[in-house]
Structure 1
Amino acid sequence: MSAAAAGLAARSSQVLRGAAALYGSTVVTAALGFAFWALSARLAIPAQVGAAAAAIAAMQLIGSACTLGLGSLLISELGRDRAARFRLVSAALLVSAGAGLLVGGLGAGGYGWLSAGGWAPAAGGSALYTSAAGVALFAVGCAAQAATNVLDLALVGAGRPGWQLLRNAAFAAGKLALLLPVAALGNLSATAVFGCWVAGSVASVLVVLARTPARRRWLRRPAGPVALRGLGGQAFGHHIINVSAHVPSLVLPMLVASLLGNARNAGFYLAMQIASFGWAITTHLSTALFAVSAREQDRLRRDLRLSLAVTAAVTVAGVVGAAVLGRWVLGLLGPAYPHAWAALVLMAAMTLPAGIKALFISVCRVRGRLGLAGAATVGSSAVEIAAGWYGARHGVTGVAAGMMVAVCAQAVLMWPMVAGAAGLRRWPPGPRWRPPGQRRAAREPA
């Protein structure tokens, strides 16, 4: 075997290992996450579950915003300079956690002040926002969310996908294990559910730290933000893409809670959690592709074709499963949740168009077209939120129907680039993309 062939085989196996680890994280976190919400639904009243879901969605939104694109930046940078890994990762974790702590504290405190003044509706979990301890808990949760988001991508970029799987498994198992003892102390409130989530996140970082051979080095003073000098432009581009791509799934539960009430939001949020089993598959595969810088056109074409086939199969299985078993599964959670069955079927059907969007982002990243990916994701996410808001007049089914129309429309617009990269027939037809080096060579005279 030639050196080039050996290198290609190594990189290809790295793609498979990274994708497998991310898939494993999805299965573990989704399964244990569903168990977490199922147990919460049994131990707490629907209003408290809905309030906790809205608070966690707000924390995830702030945490995603406070990653500042540093996780995706680390994916592209860690493979280039192994000697700088500690400096880059520690600086990124410090910046993201600090931003999450600041923004989360100010956001929770500001919302609590408005609620106390009657400017905003009080939520069932308002203790998170109206007491010093609650505001501090919410701020710590936002810091942990931001830091763990960055850490997960850093582990993938550093070639440690198994550690990423370990962290997510520890997080999912830890928060679930805390529910019963916390509930035994009294009625399970929204604040208690939120606290279990945050505690599991913090514990998962400690588990990864215990596995790190050089943990003494990590416990010393980390590198400061100056270590990221000169990388702000790339980080900003990735940040716009990452945040805008995930905003709808984080904003819509808060919107449903505000417009339809916490009890209705509980069913909507749990239906979304079930549907996320399918949504995450293509997203994780696209992340694995980007992590190994899959720039060879032939390999990218094969991987995209496989991703599209897998996404289509997952969509069919998800729709059939949701249609046949969805009402029963939601009924296991309690009599207040089967109303979200139709929404669950619609969200399961969104797997294919949502997958096309994820692959579109991956192709843009591989080709260095961060501006196009950012503009497309910002616009499509805004339309998806607006469509969900408009559909809310017809209940949670209307919200899901609005989301479905929006993601299908954006998939039609994004399909030409994905099809072209995959070597499939596309409409409208366009010129074949070539790497910049080949384009320059074609323009030069022979």
Structure 2
Amino acid sequence: MARHSGQRGSRRPAAAGRPARHARPTDQVYRSSFFLLASTVITAALGFLFWVVVARYYSIEQVGLATSLVSASVLLANLSLFGLNNTLIRFPAPAFARNGQITQSIVVVAATACLAAVVYLLGLPLYGSKLLFFRDEPLGAAAFVVCCALAAVNLLTKSVFVGARVPQYNVVIDGLLQGVVKLVTPTVLVVFGTAGIVGATGAGYAVAVVGALFAMRRRLGFRFDVRTRRTRLREQLRYSFASHVSGLLGMVPMMVLPLTVLHRLGAAAAGCFFVAFQIAALLNAVSSAVGEAMFAEASSDLSRLGELLRRSARIIAVVQIPAVAAVVLGSGLLLHVFGGDYRNRAQGLLVVLAVGALAVALRTWANSALKVTQRMRHLVLSNVLGAVLTIGLAQLWAPRGLVWVGWAWGVGNLISGLYAAGALLGRRPAVPQPPQQPPRPAAPAAMIPAEGYPH
């Protein structure tokens, strides 16, 4: 059926013998990886500048309290996703139900984040007594709840663009737009103290969400749709839950290791660990971007899985190995930017974490492939193994010094990655095919979205 002539973003049918306009070149995985990595780097750079601005306009006490609240909002946002970010990429609904699938996901994620934020505030007497003043201030409490909801929706809309294979929108919206708004807002809200920092973070999320919804409407033809027919969300609950659990398990060591260092080696060592880990995280962003790009591309065309696995592995090797070598050789110079104490105390740790980025790359690549092939039991077991080994070895080796905590991180990721790769390559299961859909009547023209959704 022809598309409605008045619909924004509509396109004409491809001429006979010519490829459709939505066809992607064979190097799409390179392009997607580049934009995903660019988004990560820009977000990290502008986020760093945001905290520099905040440190100049707010007291140390206000900054300390705000970092706890902002970190909590990020954690609660990730907890609220329920794996729907992966489901939107791996199992997109048919074109006529795609808007309903996205709408339901947004509603579920936002509502869950609000509820989680309220529970977090109510439980502050148990684990955050110093933040009770924030909970008891209606404006601050409301800002925190809204910030959590917007952060969760922001994470979800990023996956929509990745699934539609237009990740360049994340660079502009999640990277530049959000980062710039966060940079200029703290000076306006300084009179609100800690709430001003949280509010500035929430303002960045708000602008990013509004920008994403606008871009989804113009580029993807998205419209809010509350209908639930054939959105495939209920059918994929098991997949969503398993991918959610594996993601949370991957986050656990990153939350536990700083606490281990703090309690075993002291506050100064914790500061050194934080700085070194942030530098190493930029290396890990390479494999994360490539893995996500491969996941989106393979989900769109399962017949290319083998080719995409090989191609993504080559990209990671070509980019990651020289980057690791550069950080290892320049570790002292990088840490000297933060001060001589960091260079003296954290250089060995940074070298170990940089080498460990290769193990993280293996784990990320193999886990992305397991998500594509729906081998969820092995995906969860891989992350359980990585979390247990990393935390256990860190507890055992921490008394020996910071470098040994870095080795615990590398060994845990290496064993997890080897297990995942073995599960992926050992039995080589047939590539899963989407379930056959029964014939359905032709949809009215107004229900057919504009270009951008994978078909």
With normalisation by structure 1, the TM-score equals: 0.78
1:389-433 Cα distance to aligned partner (Å, 9 max, x none): 555556766644432343244344445457x5xxxxxxxxx56x2
CA distance in 1, matches of 2:146, 2:388: 28
Alignment match, 1:319: 328
**1-structure distance, mates of 2:354, 2:144:** 31
Task: Answer yes or no: is 1:368 the counterpart of 2:374.
Answer: yes
Contact 2:336 2:343 in 1 (8 A): no
Specify the SS of the correspondent of 2:235.
Answer: coil
Confirm or deny that 1:55 pairs with 2:53: no
My pick for the range that moved more, 86-95 or 401-410, is 401-410
State the shift of 1:195 in Å.
3.0
Contact 2:150 2:206 survives alignment (8 Å): yes
From the two aligned structures, give the one with the greater helix fraction: 1
How has the CA–CA distance of structure 1 residues 107 and 213 changed in structure 2, closer, same or farther, with 3 Å as cutoff? Answer: closer
Residue of structure 2 aligned with 1:329, choices 320, 334, 337: 337
Which of the residues 96, 110, 117 maps onto 1:104?
117
Q: Which one-letter code corresponds to 1:174 in the other structure?
A: V
Per the alignment, residue 357 of structure 1 pairs with 363
Verify the 8 A CA contact 1:59 1:138 in the aligned structure 2: yes
In the TM superposition, what are the counterparts of 1:71-90 in structure 2 within 5 Å? 71-78=85-92, 81-90=94-103
Q: Distance in 2 between matches of 1:18 and 1:95?
A: 27
Deviation readout 1:99-156 (Å, 9 max, x if unpaired): 111012102221x222xxxxx4645x55445544444333322222221111111111
**Is contact 2:336–2:342 with CA below 8 Å preserved after alignment?**
no
Distance change >3 Å, CA 147–CA 304, structure 1 → 2:
same
Structure 2 residue 285 is the aligned partner of structure 1 residue 280: yes
Aligned partner of 2:353: which letter?
M
Change over 3 Å in CA distance of 1:197–1:108 after alignment to 2? same
Pairing of 1:121-270 with structure 2 (within 5 A):
122-123=129-130, 127-129=133-135, 131-169=137-175, 170-183=177-190, 185=191, 189=194, 191-213=195-217, 222-223=226-227, 227=231, 228-253=233-258, 265=270, 268-270=273-275
Higher RCO, Cα 8 Å, sep 6+ = 2
Maintained 8 Å contact 1:247/1:381: yes
Q: Give 1:275's aligned amino acid.
A: A
Which amino acid in the other structure matches residue 83 of structure 2?
G
Q: Is contact 1:245-1:381 (8 Å) kept?
A: yes
Q: Secondary structure at the match of 1:148?
A: helix
Q: Any conservation in 2 of the 1:57–1:254 contact (CA below 8 Å)?
A: no
Aligned to 2:125: 113
Residues 304-337 of structure 1: per-residue CA shift (max 9 Å, x gap) = 233233222222222223x1323222239xx899
> What pairs up with 1:284-323 in 2 under 5 angstroms?
284-293=289-298, 295=302, 296=304, 297-321=306-330, 323=331
Task: Specify whether residues 412 and 14 from structure 1 end up closer, same or farther in structure 2 by C-alpha distance, changes over 3 A only.
Answer: closer
SS of structure 1 residue aligned to 2:409: helix
- Looking at structure 2, the residues matched to 210 and 107 of structure 1 have their Cα atoms a distance apart, in angstroms, of 31
The yes-or-no answer on 1:19 pairing with 2:38 is no
8 Å CA contact 1:54–1:254 kept in 2: the answer is no
CA contact (8 A) 1:37 1:270 kept: no
In 1, are the aligned partners of 2:99 and 2:223 still within 8 Å (CA)? no
1:345-381 CA-partner distances (Å, limit 9, x unpaired): 4333321111111011012123221111112112312
Give the AA of the match of 2:91. E
Query: 2 CA distance for matches of 1:437 and 1:47?
Result: 53
Instruction: State the distance in 2 between where 1:265 and 1:207 align.
Output: 37
Q: Which moved more, 1:144-153 or 1:343-352?
A: 343-352
Q: 1:40 to 1:209 in 2, by over 3 A?
A: same
Alpha-carbon contact 1:144-1:201 (below 8 Å) kept: yes
Letter in 2 for 1:287: E
CA contact (8 A) 1:282 1:359 kept: yes
Q: Root-mean-square deviation (CA), in Å?
A: 3.8
How far apart, CA to CA, are the structure 2 residues paired with 1:205 and 1:75? 18
Answer whether contact 2:157 2:212 (CA < 8 A) is retained: no
Structure 1 residues 379 and 128, CA gap change in structure 2 (3 angstroms): farther
Residue identity over aligned pairs, in percent, reads 25
User: Partners of 1:143 and 1:397 in 2: how far apart?
Assistant: 38
CA contact (8 A) 1:330 1:338 kept: no
- Structure 2 residue identity aligned to 1:366: V
Q: 1:171 to 1:66 in 2, by over 3 A?
A: same
Instruction: Give, in whole Å, the separation in 1 of the partners of 2:34 and 2:186.
Output: 29
1:33 aligns with 2:38: no
Stretches of structure 2 that go unaligned for 5 or more consecutive residues are: 1-16, 434-455
CA distance in 1, matches of 2:58, 2:346: 19
Tell me how many residue pairs correspond in the alignment: 411
Tell me, yes or no, if the aligned pair for 1:287 and 1:362 is still in contact at 8 Å: yes
Q: Which runs of 5+ in 1 are unaligned?
A: 115-119, 421-429, 439-446
Equivalent position amino acid for 1:167 in 2? I
Check 1:121–1:143 CA distance in 2 against 1; reply closer, same or farther (3 A cut).
Answer: closer
In structure 1, distance between residues paired with 2:141 and 2:229: 26
Give the SS at the match of 1:10: coil
Question: Residue 381 in 1 paired to residue 387 in 2?
Answer: yes
SS of match in other structure, 2:338: helix
1:64 aligns with 2:64: no
CA distance in 2 between counterparts of 1:6 and 1:246 reads 40
